[in-house]
């Protein structure tokens, strides 16, 4: 059986997801291929399955005709469906939503997509994201719907012992855009540093995906809060190297701080958890499958800087709770996001369709 996964650009969580699942699905006889429309930083990550980067109709038709995919899973891009049909594809079409950012955008986009979903989609898939799942049920009650956690191979990406860093690190990973809420991260770090004077702040981003005006505001706030000497920004770190960074952050006494307003199913949290790096996060909806307060991580109230600082202080200072969270988070990833479970659920979806 062959499946084609389609997305705009190989970057961020979707690129990670596609790498994870193509490797996993091969073990149950499903050959995964990936089609992206344009270049992205994720292409630097090694793959051992077919990856195509093109928007050319002739090239896409050649791929479809050559491999005769049993199903195509389009992530977010409902407009791919009529195009694929025009190019002669006759197999099953699944629309997968990994997140649109703000909830109102999700509603707007799925409403706009409704004619295409009604006409072409054989099924709808989401990674147990509450607001997406609710919209599916409301807008498309007649369509087959599937929800299960994304997969994560904890044996390939896990804790790596390294020399202990000499200061606690508060880290952040995402794009410099409003929904990822980088402003809140900088403000939390600024206030936390008043109580933890040697605090270091590390940010991991993809600079190719930020807008110039947002980048300018980012630099202005760093200067205004006088964070220049405390803050290190790294762009497009190869995925395999991130397990080193997460392990160092966890062992430093620090944590990953996720400040997003809305998330689908963020991979950065799973990666940190697998590497024993504790997570402090806003309750951004899609994180509810990975973070359970004081068990696998910590929540703070979005927009409440003082609350975030208080939770961060406890996460850093309460050694017993911290170690329990590190162990609980790592085991949660093993139990609930393992590739074998994903393969069973994905295969079940295909069989159902």
Quickly list DSSP for 178-246.
TTTTHHHHHHHHHHHTTTSTT-EEEEEE-GGGS-HHHHHHHHHHHHHTT-TTTEEEEES--GGGHHHHH
Answer whether residue 200 shows pLDDT above 90: yes
Predicted model pTM = 0.90
Supply the pLDDT for residue 128: 95
pLDDT tens-digit map of 335-351: 999 999 999 999 999 99
Distance CA 157, CA 171 (A): 18
What is the number of alpha carbons within 13 Å of residue 346 lying toward its C-beta?
A: 33
pLDDT band of residue 45 (cuts 50, 70, 90) is confident
d(Cα 175, Cα 108) in Å, to the nearest integer?
22
Residue 47 has pLDDT above 90, yes or no: no
* Nearby residues of 174 by Cβ (< 8 Å), 6 or more positions away: 180, 182, 204, 205, 258, 260, 268
Query: Domains in the chain, start-ordered, CATH in brackets?
Result: 2-151+338-352 (3.40.50.2000), 169-335 (3.40.50.2000)
Q: Is a pLDDT exceeding 90 seen at residue 209?
A: no
Mean pLDDT of 155-176: 96
Say yes or no to pLDDT of 41 above 90: no
Mean pLDDT along residues 30-41: 95
CA end-to-end distance (rounded Å), the chain: 14
Confidence check: pLDDT of 211 > 90: no
**Quick one: pLDDT at residue 265?**
86
Cα–Cα separations (whole angstroms), residue 280 to 25, 102, 254, 323: 32, 20, 10, 14
| pLDDT per position as a tens digit, 232-285 | 999 999 988 999 999 999 999 999 999 999 998 889 999 999 999 999 999 988
Counting residues of the chain whose pLDDT is more than 70, the rounded percentage is 100
Q: What average pLDDT does the structure give for the chain?
A: 96
Q: How confident is the model at residue 305 (pLDDT cuts 50, 70, 90)?
A: very high
User: Given this model, what pLDDT does residue 237 score?
Assistant: 93
Is residue 120 a contact partner of residue 93, using CB atoms and an 8 Å limit?
yes
Q: What is the pLDDT of residue 208?
A: 82
Q: 51 has which bridge partners?
A: 34
């Amino acid at each position: 059986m062959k499946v084609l996964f389609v997305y705009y650009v190989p970057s961020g969580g979707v690129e990670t997801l596609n790498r994870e699942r193509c490797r996993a699905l091969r073990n149950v006889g499903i050959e995964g291929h990936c089609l992206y429309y344009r270049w992205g930083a994720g292409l630097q990550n090694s793959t051992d399955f077919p990856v195509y980067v093109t928007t050319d109709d002739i090239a896409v038709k050649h791929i479809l005709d050559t491999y005769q995919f049993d199903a195509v899973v389009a992530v977010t891009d409902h407009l791919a469906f009529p195009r694929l049909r025009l190019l002669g594809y006759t197999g099953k079409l699944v629309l997968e939503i990994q997140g649109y950012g703000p909830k109102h955008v999700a509603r707007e986009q799925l409403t706009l997509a409704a004619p295409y979903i009604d006409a072409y989609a054989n099924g709808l898939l989401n990674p147990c994201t509450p607001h997406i799942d609710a919209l599916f049920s409301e807008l498309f009650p007649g369509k087959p719907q599937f929800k299960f956690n994304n997969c994560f191979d904890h044996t390939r990406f896990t804790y790596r012992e390294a020399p202990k860093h000499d200061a606690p690190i508060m880290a952040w990973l995402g794009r410099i855009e409003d929904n990822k809420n980088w402003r809140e991260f900088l403000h939390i770090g600024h206030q936390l540093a008043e109580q933890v004077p040697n605090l270091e702040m590390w940010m991991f981003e993809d600079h190719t995906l930020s807008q110039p005006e947002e980048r300018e505001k980012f630099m202005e706030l760093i200067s205004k809060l006088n964070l220049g000497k405390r803050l290190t920004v790294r762009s497009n770190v190869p995925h395999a190297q991130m397990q080193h960074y997460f392990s160092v952050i966890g062992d430093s006494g620090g944590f990953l701080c996720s400040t997003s307003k809305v998330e689908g199913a963020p991979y950065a949290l799973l990666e940190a958890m697998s590497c024993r790096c504790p997570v402090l996060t806003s309750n951004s909806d899609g994180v509810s499958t990975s973070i359970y307060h004081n068990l696998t991580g910590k929540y703070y109230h979005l927009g409440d800087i003082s609350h975030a600082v208080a939770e961060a202080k406890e996460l850093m200072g309460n050694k017993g709770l911290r170690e329990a969270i590190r162990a609980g988070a790592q085991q949660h990833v093993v139990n609930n996001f393992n590739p074998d479970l994903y393969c069973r659920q994905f295969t079940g979806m295909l069989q159902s369709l």
